[in-house]
Structure 1
Amino acid sequence: MQGKVSDERNFNRMITVVSIVIPVVVALLFGIKIPNVAPLSFLPPIYAAINGLTAVLLLVAVWAIKNGNQKLHQNLMTANIVLSLLFLVMYIAYHMTSDSTPFGGDGLISYVYYFILITHIILSIALIPLVLRTYAKAYLKKFEEHRSLARYTFPVWLYVAVTGVVVYLMISPYYAY
């Protein structure tokens, strides 16, 4: 029992550090532009597709666990974490080589865009500890706690994945390729 409590404490410390470090590093890297490097303008549709794939795999993972396929669920959720990391690397690389694209719409559509964008960003930051804690609960075989936390993690993650695609689709006409 002592080992599991110690393991969970260690996970929680690591999750807290990672949950703080990732947004801070992303914010700092956002301000850095790599000189004399061609803009990586091909990345936004790729990382939007990664968001779309993540949304689909999240839905399939829920279907898998509801049908008793724990191994498929575990593999899909691990794949989603890898996809999220891949997205993050591409997102940072794009913004370190390219200027941010301003949204060109106006009126009501701009309010809708900024609402979706701001909620997407805020929830993507909140998602980091949610995903890591949910994954840690499963890793530690605390499946009841995992299930309870996953009830919150899943809809937030799905929202972030879907709105990532929506934000891309709304801003894509304004990209300077």
Structure 2
Amino acid sequence: MRNSTDRFMIPAITGISVLVPVLVLLLMYLPERYNFIGVEMGTFPFFHAILNFCTAMLLIAGYYAMRLGELKWHRNLMITAFVLSAVFLVSYVISKISNDPVPYGGEGFMRPLYFFILITHILLSAIIVPLVLFTMYRGLTGEVIKHRKIARYTFPVWLYVAITGVLVYLFMSPYY
């Protein structure tokens, strides 16, 4: 059964879910960078790692709050994780506009490990956008059964993306 806001929210979430990865992909291939805020390259990745780490901690805390029946805490922790992820996304877009991509310089067994983590991180980052948006929407509208059903998939994927975001930073930190 669909509620009255579904007619607006489902197309909006779908549109955002397509627009965000396409925008990020296009920014990766900008012919010229525009550092309009004057921030040095190394600042963004460190900030992004902090946001990802905090998001991971909030997700874990939110999961345990839910398991303990502390639903108000669960809601507030997950909303905070969502806000940090949104801040990350805006900052990431600004960083892609401002700075050229930095190649990974590692060698040996670390190289395939890094690329495995990076590729899975990127692919799941695109998938997590609609998952998070639908999970948040269903939770905030009180559709508990639908919320739980999608949250089972959203939580591990979102946590993986947050943790691998930190790992990508750690792999890349010598090269910034």
What is the aligned residue count? 173
CA contact (8 A) 2:35 2:99 kept: no
CA displacement, residues 137-166 of structure 1 (integer Å, 9 cap, x when unaligned) = 112211011111111100000000000000
Quick one: which amino acid aligns to residue 6 of structure 2? E
Closer/same/farther in 2, CA of residues 144 and 105 from structure 1, 3 Å limit: same
RMSD value, Cα: 1.6
Report the equivalent of 2:49: 48
Please state how far the C-alpha of 1:107 moved relative to its aligned partner: 2.4
In the TM superposition, what are the counterparts of 1:111-126 in structure 2 within 5 Å?
111-126=112-127
Distance 1:116 1:24 in 2: 21
Unaligned 5+ segments in structure 2 are: none
Cα distance in 1 for partners of 2:159, 2:29 equals 28
SS, match of residue 107 in structure 1? coil
Q: Which residue in 2 is equivalent to 1:90?
A: 91
| Conserved? CA contact 1:31–1:96, under 8 Å | no
TM-score normalized with structure 1 length: 0.91
Q: Deviations over 1:62-115 (max 9, x none)?
A: 111111111111111111111011111111222222111111112221111001
What are the equivalent positions in structure 2 for 1:70-109 lying under 5 Å apart? 70-109=71-110
Identity %: 44
Whether contact under 8 Å (1:15, 1:129) holds in the other structure is yes
Report deviation, 1:39. Answer: 4.8
Contact between 1:47 and 1:91, CA under 8 Å: does it hold in 2? yes
* Partner secondary structure for residue 86 of structure 1: helix
- Equivalent position to 1:7, from 5, 8, 12: 5
Deviation at 1:134, TM superposition (A): 0.8
Assess, with a 3 A threshold, how the Cα gap between structure 1 residues 39 and 140 changes in structure 2: closer, same or farther: closer
- 1:21 equivalent in alignment to 2:22: no
Matched, 1:156 2:154: no
